A and B are shown apart, each in its own frame.
Chain A
Amino acid sequence: MFKLKNFRKRSLWILHYNAGSCNGCDIEILACLGPTYDLERFGVLNRGNPKQSDMLLITGPVTYRSRERVVELFTQMPEPKVVVAVGSCTCTGGVFSGMYNVEDGVDKYIPVDVYIPGCAATPEYIIDGVLKGLELLEHKSKEIVKPKKLFKKLSFHKDHIDRRGIAGKVGENDGKD
């Protein structure tokens, strides 16, 4: 029988976005995709397209200018989806916490499923985190997941959800963001 769930388990596509990190975690993600650590043996591929991705790998403490992009990318991804925060500064703000242009941690904006600590997170940790996210993906439903901030409203185009209209801009809603 055709079960999409089984196929998804063996071919996870990831979307990687740098929301203000120092590049350290990003090059470790790149090293994971290289031949030594070889994340691809689990069927994981890095695709730059949010509409085809199952997992958002996000690095960096979310700077003021990248928060709209983070929410936009998150809402463009179809459910079920998993968010993995890579690196200490992504989890809590780390060394950048309290700087004037930084939100402390990505979980103020979008719900995070797996937190990977470390500055920079080592490839072994990243592989563990991605596989943990893969386990969580099996239990996720197709219900729409809303970002914690910058959520506009669900808009429908015919009978489909129009994902273009979901994410808001800073200062657009009510000044709370």
Chain B
Amino acid sequence: MSTTTKAVDMQIPLGAQHISLLEPVKFTFTTQNEKIVDVGSDVGFVHRGVEHACSSKFEFKQVGFVVARICGLCAITHSMCYTAGVEKLLDAQVTQKAKYLRTLLIELDRIHSHMLCLSHTCENAGFEAMFMSLMGDREPVMGLQEAITGNRVQFDYITIGGVTREFDAQTAQKIIQVLGQTQKKIEGYIEEFQNNWSLSKKFEGIGALSPEGAYEYNAIGPLARACGLQVDVRNGLDYLPYKEVGFTTITQTGGDIHARNMVRLYEILNSIKMCRNIVEGLPEGEIQTKVRGKPQGEVITRLEAPRGELMYYLKGENKKVLDRVRIKTPTFATIPAMIEIFKGQDYADAPAILASFDPCLSCTAK
């Protein structure tokens, strides 16, 4: 009997429907004895044609609510990024209070999105109890969003000229209380993620990306910050008061799943701190200002979504309907880096690595 085994390329599909996937995406892994040597990806299953509808069917006042339906997880960042662009075109002035409330909701959204990603990573690593625990601790944050905006997922909170609602003193008290509880929980999770054998040891060194690789393959968001790159759009934003509310860039070294988890956990802590500063130091004033006119000209706006940099290009010709709405989403930009990370890893780790990217395919395909 011959003992030599010949390396045979084997194709394993993951998707379009798979238990570890929330959304349809198809990866075709070419493997040699469990090791992944090549990856092909197909992300277009959820393409709906939002960009075209935004520049033909809907008026510019409605588009903010349509682009929110691109993605349920980062709906608020989509509508914020669009609204900021239109406000620049219309030369609209937004009150300081509205800016603070917008920042509050974006950061609450980031907290719940990161917690969902962490719980999903745990589930795909086989740690069901941690998944349940994180999902349970995420619910109070969802409750806060419901208390402030009236809806749990699709808020429709940001409109051109301001925001739709404000909260009373009782809700403010509740926000502070829930944020305090969540902070304690997250500190516990940081301890757990660093020291628990089945989490830290399982994730360390898996799915690693070097800083040079991250730079070369255009990694953004938590993926790049886990490699030590200082990439965060929130640093240089002029339309949201991030500097005043205590924003700091979180970076880690290592670039593996563990580092990505730690970036997300520390970012949650930073977001909690910012939310608390906003609620305690909320300026007085109106929440909505009247905006007149129609958009004229071109503009590019950027915003840090939970998964990385989101970019909008808008072009208006002094009509009710915009000429062009171009959306560049974070997951689309990270696909080359994802494919690079997959190469050389075990196939058994593929779902966990995929979950650690926190991919958002409905953003990608639009």
Contacts and interface: CB of A to CB of B under 8 A. Distances in A.
Interface in A15-65: 17-28, 30-31, 33-36, 46-49, 60-61, 63, 65
Nearest to B15: A69
A96 B17 CA distance: 22
A89 B133 CA distance: 31
A11 interface: no
Interface size class of A (residues with CB under 8 A): 35 or more
A49 to B, nearest CB: 8
A36 to B, nearest CB: 4
Contacts of A23: 22-23, 71-73, 360, 362
B116 A63 contact: no
A34 B132 contact: yes
Given A22-B69, A24-B75, A120-B153, A65 B48 contact: no
A155 B56 CA distance: 45
B73 A27 contact: yes
A100 interface: yes
A116 to B, nearest CB: 14
B24 A66 contact: yes
Nearest to B360: A23
B23 A18 contact: yes
B39 to A, nearest CB: 20
Interface residues of B, number: 40
A122 B139 CA distance: 13
Given A17-B24, A66-B24, A22 B52 contact: no
Contacts of B362: 18, 20-23
Given A99-B50, A120-B153, A35 B69 contact: no
Given A17-B17, A27-B153, A66-B24, A34 B135 contact: yes
B53 interface: yes
A60 B362 CA distance: 10
Given A21-B72, A99-B48, 20 more contacts: A19-B24, A20-B46, A21-B362, A22-B69, A22-B75, A23-B72, A24-B75, A26-B72, A31-B135, A31-B142, A35-B132, A48-B18, A48-B19, A49-B19, A66-B24, A73-B17, A96-B48, A100-B49, A120-B152, A120-B154
Interface of B: 16-20, 22-24, 44-50, 52-53, 57, 65-66, 69-73, 75, 116, 132-133, 135-136, 138-139, 142, 151-154, 360, 362
Interface of A: 17-28, 30-31, 33-36, 46-49, 60-61, 63, 65-66, 69, 73, 89, 95-96, 98-102, 119-120, 122-123
8 closest cross-chain pairs (CB), A and B: A24-B72, A48-B19, A34-B135, A23-B72, A35-B136, A120-B153, A24-B153, A36-B139
